[in-house]
Amino acid sequence: MPKLLKLLLATILCINLSACSTIKGFWGDDDDDKDEISDDISARQLYDKARGEMFGNRSLDAVTSYALLESRYPFGVYAQQAQLDLAYLYYNQMDMDIAVDMADRFIRLNPEHENVAYAHYIKGLALFNKSKSIFNAIIPRNPSDKDPKPLLAAFEVFNTLINRFPDSDYAFDAQQRMIFLRNELAEHEVTVADFYMRRGAYLAAANRAQYVMQKYQGAPIMPQAVYILELAYRQLKIDDLADDTSKVYAANFVLPDGSIKDPSITASKVSCATSAWSRLLERLNLKTYYCN
């Protein structure tokens, strides 16, 4: 269990026990230098204390203060803001699952709050980064090796954000991330479709390719999906659909010189970086350059 979550659970338990007026001993006995929180501290003072601890890189203390704030003043504006701050805090500490839970909790309890768009954004960011690890900075990622569920969930969260709050400060970044997610998810599906083709599961390959064409229009790997669909139809002896698919390919994937794009080159990752340094950063997964 993540360290911050253990502290939060212990804090909530301790607050609800009458014999426990302060949090002591959870991380050891050497806590003489920590300030006790008086019983008459106001919600504003407690919130300012928690926020100062959060931005002062005292995350464990911040979790304690935020939990105490929500316990003493559960229905005030500061308690609402504390829920948002905790979502950000856990996201910043790379506890993505808890960040998602905290954002979900805020959205559920405060669906009409003026900052609910931010809660959707934090939730999307946490899901967006959930499948990343330190190894992504060393070993180039392969979308086909990823569990697509967090990416799909992030895609839907950002889609909700854009549809419900198109004028929010987070809509543009959410849209750019959706483009990236669309490309990643499309590449994953095409890789799976190719796997089915190589093993003779032609109907499954056709279904995957059709799904990409329906769901991820505009993805750079789209020509490969169309080509796989044509090949699958050929193997299934559905020649009329194969001919129609071939015509779709020829009509949509024409190079500037008038020739038809070679589908074999479409499986390679398309980079939108504009310099050698940028491409290196993207290759190491230290930065992402979005396509329009």
Per-domain residue ranges for the chain? 169-292
Supply the pLDDT for residue 2.
55
Supply the pLDDT for residue 104.
93
d(CA 103, CA 117) in angstroms, rounded, equals: 10
d(CA 251, CA 222) in angstroms, rounded, equals: 13
Contact of 62 with 55, CB cutoff 8 Å: no
To which residue do tokens 């139809």 refer? 233
Tens digits of per-residue pLDDT, 38-95? 666 788 887 888 788 888 888 788 888 888 777 787 787 888 888 888 888 888 888 8
Supply the pLDDT for residue 26.
37
Tens digits of per-residue pLDDT, 110-153? 888 899 999 999 999 999 888 664 434 444 454 445 668 888 99
Tens digits of per-residue pLDDT, 160-199? 999 999 999 999 999 999 999 999 899 999 999 999 998 8
The pLDDT-based confidence of 8 (bands split at 50, 70, 90) is low
CB environment 11-21: b (16+ within 10 A), e (fewer): beebbeeeeee
Is the pLDDT at 227 greater than 90? The verdict is: yes
φ, ψ dihedrals at 260, nearest 5°: -90, 135
Tens digits of per-residue pLDDT, 262-283? 766 444 444 456 666 766 665 5
Supply the pLDDT for residue 222.
93
Cα 39 to Cα 22, 65, 247: the distances in Å are 10, 13, 75
Contact of 123 with 107, CB cutoff 8 Å: yes
This prediction has a pTM of 0.68
Q: Which fold has domain 169-292?
A: 1.25.40
